[in-house]
Amino acid sequence: MGDPAGIGPELCLKLLAACQAGQFPDCIPVIFGSVPVLRRVAAATGIPFTAPIVPAASAATAPAVVPLECPDADTIHPGQMTAAAGEAAFQACRSAIAAALAGEVAGIVTCPLNKRALHAAGYPYPGHTELFAEYLSASQSCMMQYADDIACSFVTTHVGYAEVPQLLTMKRIGEVLDLTDAALRRIRGAAPRLLVCGLNPHAGEDGLFGNREEERLIAPAIQAAVARGINCVGPVPGDTAFTPYARKQYDAVVCMYHDQGHIPVKMIAFDRAVNVTLGLPIPRTSVDHGTAFDIAWQGSADPGSLFQAVHLAAKLAPEDRAGTKAPLPSI
C-alpha cells in the first residue's frame, strides 16, 4: 500500500474497483496494508471498499486485502510525514517479501513510500530498490523505468552527484547492461538494442570534460558487453539519447545517474511508466511517481502508473502448474 498518508491507499482502492470491473484477468491482486486506513480513505473519497479480507495471500481466490497491524493508524493523516506511516510502509514491504519467499505470490507491486518517513521509522534505505535488493539477497540489481515507447536503466540511482563518478566501474556498468538485456528479452521476446549514455557533457568530448570516464570505464564496458552478445552502442551524450530518432532506433537507454533518465521518462510517459527492479528472484514493479501528499485522500489520484505496474508484473510472473497466474500483491 506504500505510505498510508499518501495516495497509495486510494490507488489500491481504485485497483480493487478496476478488478471488479474485469480489467485484470491475468492476475489476482492482493493488497498488503492497514484495513482501518483503507476504510478511512474509502469514506473520504467515496471509492467503495468491498474486497474480502483474508489472513494470507495464499487464501485469496479473488482480489483481496491481507490486513497488517498498524498500532498508530489513528495518528496517520493525509499529507503528513510521520514515523508511524513509515513503519506501516516498511511492514507492508516486509510482509509481501515474506509471502513471495514462501511462494504465496508470484510478484510484488509497490505503491510510493516517503523516504523521510521510512528513515524516521528507523529504516535508512534510499528507496524500495535497495530495500528489496537486501531482503531478497540480490547480489546484482538495478532500477529500470519502462513504458512501451521509452525505457531506461540506471548504473547509479539515489546518490548525490558528487558520488556518481566514484561508483562507476566497468563491472557495475556491465552488470546493468546484462540485467537490462535479460529483462527486455523477457518483456519483448527479442534481443533489445541498447544505447548507453556517457557521464559528462558531450560524453566527455574526447576527455575535455570530466575525468575520461567515457574512455576509461564506459566504452570498455560496452565493448565487453558486445563480446558477450549484447547489442549495445555508446557512449553518447545524454542530451541526444532520448530524441525521437534515437527512441525509434533503440529499445532502451542505459543511464549513468538518476536524473539523466528520470527527467525524459517523466516528460514522455509520466502516467504510463513503471519502475522495475532488475536482478531480483521475483518480479518487482512500482509506480513511477511519489506519494503526492498534496492530493492524498482526495479521490483525484491517477491510477494509470499502478495499473501498468500490475500488468507488467503479471507479464513477468511465472506461471503456476495450472498455467494460470498466482496471486500478485500490490503493496
Helix (H) or strand (E) holding 48: none
- Is 123 in the same domain as 218? no
Q: 3-state SS of the chain: helix, strand, coil percent to 5?
A: 45, 15, 40
- Is 129 in the same domain as 1? yes
Q: Hey, what's the cell of 184?
A: 527486455
Average pLDDT of the chain to the nearest whole number: 93
Q: Which domain holds residue 8?
A: 1-138+280-331
pLDDT band at 322 (very low <50, low <70, confident <90, very high): very low
- Is 204 in the same domain as 219? yes
- Is 20 in the same domain as 151? no
- Is 124 in the same domain as 166? no
- Is 272 in the same domain as 284? no
- Is 9 in the same domain as 84? yes
pLDDT band at 244 (very low <50, low <70, confident <90, very high): very high
Q: Residue 272 maps to which CATH number?
A: 3.40.718.10
- Is 41 in the same domain as 103? yes
pLDDT digits (tens, 9 = 90+) for 153-172: 999 999 999 999 999 999 99
- Is 26 in the same domain as 97? yes
- Is 91 in the same domain as 66? yes
Name the E strands within the chain: 28-33, 64-67, 108-110, 142-147, 150-154, 193-197, 231-236, 252-255, 274-278, 284-287, 327-330
pLDDT digits (tens, 9 = 90+) for 2-34: 999 999 999 999 999 999 999 999 899 999 999
- Is 130 in the same domain as 31? yes
Number of domains the chain is built from: 2
- Is 127 in the same domain as 74? yes
